[in-house]
Chains A and B, each alone.
Chain A
Amino acid sequence: MRDRGIALKLALLIIPITIAIFLFILGYYYNISKNTIIKNVEENSRNLALNAVNKIEKSLKTFELVAENLSYFVQSSNYTKNELLSMIETAVNKNKEIYGSTIAFEPYSFQRDSLYFAPYFYKGENNIRFTYLGGDSYNYFNWDWYKIPKEQNKSLWSEPYYDKGGGEIVMSTYSVPFYKILNRENKFEGVVTADISLNWLSNIVKSLKISKSGYGFLISQNGNFITHPSKQLIMNESIFSIAKSKNSLKLKEMGNKMMSGKSGFELIDGILSDKKYWIYYSPLPSNGWSLGVMFPEDEIMADINNLSKDAVLISIEGILILLLVIIYISRSITMPLRKLSEATKDIASGNLEFDIPEIKSRDEVGNLSRSFEYMRSSLKKYISDLKETTAAKERIESELKIARDIQMGIIPKDFPPFPGRTEFEIYASIEPAREVGGDFYDFFFLGDNKLFFLIGDVSDKGIPASLFMAVTKTLIKAVATSTDKNLSEIAYKTNNDLFSDNKMSMFVSIFFGILNIDDGEIIYTNAGHNRPFIIKNDGSVLMLEKTDGMALGVFENAKYGINKVRLNFNETIFLYTDGITEAMDENSSLFGEENLKQKLKECSSFKAEEIIIHINNKVKEFVGDEPQYDDITMLSIKYLNNSEKKLEIELKNEVSELDKLNNKLAQFWNEHNLDSEELGHINLSLEEIITNIIKYGYNDDLEHTIKVVIKLNGTQKLQLEIIDDGIEFNPFEHPAPDTSKSLEERDIGGLGIHLVRNCMDYFNYERENNINKVVMVKNIGQKII
């Protein structure tokens, strides 16, 4: 899915950034909120704490005032016992916060006979109760509330204690020492006390409204818990013992700060639980106690945490919506793109006949779609134009090809062209530069032993040149074969014929010659063509002598001279067109005549075909990758007639003559040192052919002569000619017998010729001037001595 790709890319790009932004905002908001909340909590807790402190302090001041008043009274006036008791009772009765009060005298100070004197009024359930403190079980002189003010000579609050034998509750006592002035010295007389019930204090602290599970507590100047929601802590544990057991340095430090009368706001470990608490602590200036207000952190943070959770949920929902939007947008982009992509595939596969999906949007995709439509219609137009021009070009090319086929068709291209002739080898090649060139060659026999050959080059290329060439070739062959003219006359006549109808002023350079097969003599005429070379037996290469005459078709009645040269056994004449000598390499230098001559020197031992292949390779090497500018045409004739290795026998038409033939052949075999195994095949073939002639060739009883010519030529080819004047009979036109038939079905006829076919490499029959001529060729090896 193509759109998924783009959606994925967009999502991968946008979603993380969005998440990061959300996270940043959330974090920032969370921090700010948290700080604000904590500030609020601090404010709140300070207010709570200070309120509570004020309230307690106010009460404590009341205690202190009452106690101070009593002590003033005791020191400054005379009073009776009853007045004293009444005063104490009034103080307790009038001040509802005060649990109890006493005035405790030094031993024997108030009453000479009484060790203890400490009348104590305290609050019962419904009334004021009275008792005298002191006794064996209650030696108040040793109690802190008495002893410490006495020792320190100042008013102070005691540590909380359980007043066993006195008030019988947990309390703290404010003690004011009083003195009697004796000899200008203050003599300690006792203490005035006011008791405060810790229960009462607890209730005050409890009344503080501190969130859901928050609470307040009081500790004494030693750190002992005075009030705490957990009763077991009161009087039993101190802030320091808790800090120790929890191994909390922070708690201990906070304890020290509380003890030294400081106030503060801190995050600490919980006193009983492991929960974190925010605490505000503040001292009670009167007695050095400290009030702590605890706020559980999780509770404080609960709201903001819930808020954050909601924010995260909303963010996730937002991101999901964003994702849907991304998918929607990318789809709206890619749907048309995908349609376009499908359409492009169709274009790529060559189908231009469909409609590009119409996309109406005015955005880039719409533009793309319109561009595609434009491309499609342009392509369609271009292709239809191209088809037209291609068709036109193909028509021309097809005409050129037809012309080339005509040209190549009239040039002999099957080699060897005369397999029955072992006296020479001939080979030629033509490689047109364009489809139709102007080069050509030809060769044909004039009679039995004269080979006419030519090579030519028309002055132009293309169809006109090829037609001119065809005309030239046809004219020459017609003139040469139909009349008894010599070469000079052939050239003269052809020139005039070409001249008369030559409206396009074309001309043709041409070399032609006649090779006499019997003696190797060549008579030739050169009409303005490159002069051929002769490769001699000694490896030298000669250029043929000049003859008079210019290219055919130039001037009317032009004269052409002739010349002669002789090929010896194994020598070659090599004809070519200027496509060879004017072949160009990449530096535009020419292959050249001298270079060709040098290359031909390497060819003296080559066969006719090998010479042409060799020169062709050398030209290709020289030219490299350069294009071929001109036709390249070559013709080579190697003369192989070895007149010394020839046997001619004349036989009468009698079977007994075969022995004579056998004997002569055996002698010839010995003379030329030939492989005797081949002799059997030759004997067999001659016997079969000659027996046939003797048996079926004559319908009279006259004596006839059968001529047998045996030639052994240069390439160890044995050429057999059997000539007779019998009735026309082609032994090779009968089909070969079916040698797979069984004995009973077999007919004896045709077996002899079948043997000949299998023994010989070439065989041919022709009849001319009432003469039958059978030619057979056999490749034979030299006898290995």
Chain B
Amino acid sequence: MESNNETQENISLLRLKGKLDFITSSEFEQKFNIMVNEGGKKFILDFSEVSYMSSAGLRFLLIASKKTKGKVVLFGVNDAVKQVIEIAGFVSMFKFSSSQDEAVEILTKN
């Protein structure tokens, strides 16, 4: 697990790495909460290096979305993870982009 935050015009980037399962998702959640407390309002979640996600990861995404009032953009989501999001019915709740720049653009507009 590895995360990183780069702030740019009130947009925070959280880089996720490895598995997003029952164990790791709570760590990402802590990290995310700190960033929110530091004033983060818009988030980009980098899924490029996430290979696997369980319902714990979904729970993290749900919390992230609720806390930012939907200002979350995911990019680099692989097929297996995308499938899990689809099964859960979360696709319409999040915005997906193919690159980091595009994610910035989407968040800047809103």
List A residues at the B interface (Cβ < 8 Å). 655-656, 658, 677, 680, 683-684, 687-688, 691, 737, 739-744, 746, 748, 751-752, 754-755, 758-759
A364→B88 CA distance, assembly (Å): 88
Can you name the residue of chain A whose Cβ is closest to the Cβ of B53? A684
**8 Å CB contact of B88 from A680, A683, A755:** A755
Can you name the residue of chain A whose Cβ is closest to the Cβ of B91? A739
A752 touches B66 (CB 8 A): no
B22 partner residues in chain A, CB cutoff 8 A: 655, 658, 687, 691
A748 partner residues in chain B, CB cutoff 8 A: 58-59, 62
A680 partner residues in chain B, CB cutoff 8 A: 52, 80
List B residues at the A interface (Cβ < 8 Å). 21-23, 52, 54-56, 58-59, 62, 65-66, 70, 80, 84, 87-90, 93
Known: A656-B23, A743-B70, A746-B62. A684 touches B84 (CB 8 A): yes
B70 partner residues in chain A, CB cutoff 8 A: 743
B89 touches A739 (CB 8 A): yes
**8 Å CB contact of A758 from B56, B59, B62, B87:** B87
Q: Can you report 13 A-B residue pairs in the complex whose CB atoms are below 8 A from each other?
A: A656-B23, A688-B55, A691-B56, A739-B90, A743-B62, A748-B59, A748-B62, A751-B59, A751-B88, A752-B54, A755-B54, A755-B84, A755-B88
Can you name the residue of chain A whose Cβ is closest to the Cβ of B65? A743
Q: Taking A680-B80, A755-B55, A755-B87 as given, write out 12 further A-B residue pairs in contact, using a Cβ cutoff of 8 Å, ordered by the A residue number.
A: A680-B52, A687-B54, A691-B54, A740-B89, A742-B93, A743-B62, A743-B66, A743-B70, A748-B62, A754-B87, A754-B88, A755-B54
Can you name the residue of chain A whose Cβ is closest to the Cβ of B78? A680
A715 → B minimal CB distance (Å):
25
B63 → A minimal CB distance (Å):
8
Can you name the residue of chain B whose Cβ is closest to the Cβ of A740? B89
Can you name the residue of chain A whose Cβ is closest to the Cβ of B93? A743
A105 → B minimal CB distance (Å):
167
**8 Å CB contact of B23 from A655, A737, A746:** A655
A658 partner residues in chain B, CB cutoff 8 A: 21-23
A658→B55 CA distance, assembly (Å): 14
Known: A739-B89, A744-B66. A677 touches B59 (CB 8 A): no
B59 partner residues in chain A, CB cutoff 8 A: 748, 751
A240→B75 CA distance, assembly (Å): 138
A208→B7 CA distance, assembly (Å): 158
**8 Å CB contact of B54 from A688, A739, A744, A746:** A688
A683 partner residues in chain B, CB cutoff 8 A: 52
**8 Å CB contact of A687 from B21, B88, B89:** B21
A691 partner residues in chain B, CB cutoff 8 A: 22, 54, 56
B12 → A minimal CB distance (Å):
19
A688→B66 CA distance, assembly (Å): 23
A327→B5 CA distance, assembly (Å): 113
A754→B88 CA distance, assembly (Å): 7
